[in-house]
C-alpha cells in the first residue's frame, strides 16, 4: 500500500480483500472511506487514538478490548499501526452471519471465513485473554467484567461471579479457561448475533 498521499484503492486490492473477507466491492469501498476519514492525518494506517473516534467503540464497554484485538490481529503489528487490510480483516469478524454467501452455508464451506462461529468465538476469547497466553484467568475475567458493569456491582459480587463462571467452564479443573473450554461453555449462546456489530450502517 505504500505511502502515496493520493490514497486510492486498486481494483486488485479490492478483489483480494473481498475474497479473503467476504465483503462485497461496494462494502469495501465504503469501509475504505470510513478508514480514510478515521485516518485524519492521512498516515495510511490507524493508531489507537484513531480507533477511539469510532462511535460504536466509544460507547461499547468492551471498546478498549476490541481496539486491542485490532492490534493483535495486525500482521505487521510490531508497531501500533493498522493498515486498511488489517482493518477490514478485523471488521470481517463483525459481519453479520446471515449476509454470508450461499456457498458458505453449504456443508463444509465457509468454515474459515472470518465471521464463522469459530472465528467469532476466538475473537471474543482474545478480548478476555488480556495477556495473550491463550488462557482466561480469574483475574482477566474479573478485569473484563469490571469494564462491562462499571461500578453498579460491588467488587465482592464480581469476584463471586468470576469464580462461578470459571468453575462452571473449567472442565479440567486447572483454574483457567482454555479456548476449548470457552467454546464448550458458550455452545448454546447466540454468539453470531452478539458479535454482529453494524459497522456499515
Distance CA 190, CA 46 (A): 31
Half-sphere exposure of 51 (CA within 13 A, CB side): 25
CB of 141 to Ca ion, least distance (A): 10
Q: How far apart are CA 72 and CA 2, in angstroms?
A: 21
Radius of gyration, alpha carbons of the chain: 18
Nearer to Ca ion by C-beta: 84 or 128? 128
Q: Locate 180 and state its grid cell.
A: 476449548
Q: Are 99 and 108 spatial neighbours (Cβ–Cβ below 8 Å)?
A: no
Which class for 85: exposed (0-12), middle (13-18), buried (19 or more C-beta within 10 A)?
middle
The footprint of Ca ion (CB under 5 A) covers: 129, 131, 133, 135, 170, 172, 174, 176
- In the complex, the smallest distance separating the C-beta of residue 23 from Ca ion, rounded to whole angstroms, is 31
Q: Which one, 7 or 143, has the nearer CB to Ca ion?
A: 143
Of 29 and 180, CB closest to Ca ion: 180
Closest CB to Ca ion among residues 36, 138 = 138
| Minimum CB distance to Ca ion, residue 112 (Å) | 24
| Residue placing its CB nearer to Ca ion in the complex, 15 or 174 | 174
Which CB, 46 or 169, lies closer to Ca ion? 169
Q: Rounded to an integer, what is the distance from CA 38 to the centroid of its chain?
A: 18
Least separation in angstroms between CB 168 and Ca ion: 11
Q: How far is the CB of 183 from Ca ion (least distance, A)?
A: 12
Query: In angstroms, what is the minimal distance from the CB of 169 to Ca ion?
Result: 8
Q: Give the separation between CA 53 and CA 55, rounded to whole angstroms.
A: 6
E-strand ranges in the chain read 135-136, 177-178
Amino acid at each position: 500500500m505504500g505511502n502515496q498521499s493520493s490514497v486510492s484503492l486498486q481494483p486488485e486490492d479490492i478483489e483480494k480483500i473481498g475474497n479473503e473477507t467476504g465483503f462485497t466491492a461496494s462494502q469495501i469501498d465504503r469501509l475504505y472511506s470510513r478508514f480514510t476519514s478515521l485516518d485524519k492525518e492521512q498516515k495510511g494506517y490507524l493508531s489507537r487514538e484513531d480507533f477511539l473516534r469510532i462511535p460504536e467503540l466509544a460507547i461499547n464497554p468492551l471498546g478498549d478490548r476490541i481496539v486491542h484485538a485490532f492490534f493483535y490481529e495486525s500482521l505487521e503489528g510490531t508497531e501500533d499501526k493498522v493498515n486498511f487490510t488489517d482493518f477490514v480483516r478485523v471488521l470481517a469478524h463483525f459481519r453479520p452471519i446471515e449476509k454470508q454467501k450461499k456457498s458458505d452455508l453449504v456443508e463444509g464451506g465457509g468454515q474459515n471465513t472470518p465471521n464463522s462461529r469459530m472465528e467469532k468465538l476466538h475473537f471474543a476469547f482474545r478480548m478476555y485473554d488480556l495477556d495473550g497466553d491463550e488462557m482466561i484467568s480469574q483475574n482477566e475475567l474479573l478485569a473484563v467484567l469490571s469494564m462491562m458493569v462499571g461500578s453498579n456491582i460491588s467488587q465482592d459480587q464480581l469476584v463471586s461471579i468470576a469464580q462461578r463462571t470459571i468453575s462452571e467452564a473449567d472442565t479440567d479443573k486447572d483454574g483457567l479457561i482454555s479456548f476449548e473450554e470457552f467454546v464448550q461453555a458458550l455452545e448454546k449462546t447466540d454468539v453470531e448475533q452478539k458479535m454482529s456489530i453494524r459497522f456499515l450502517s
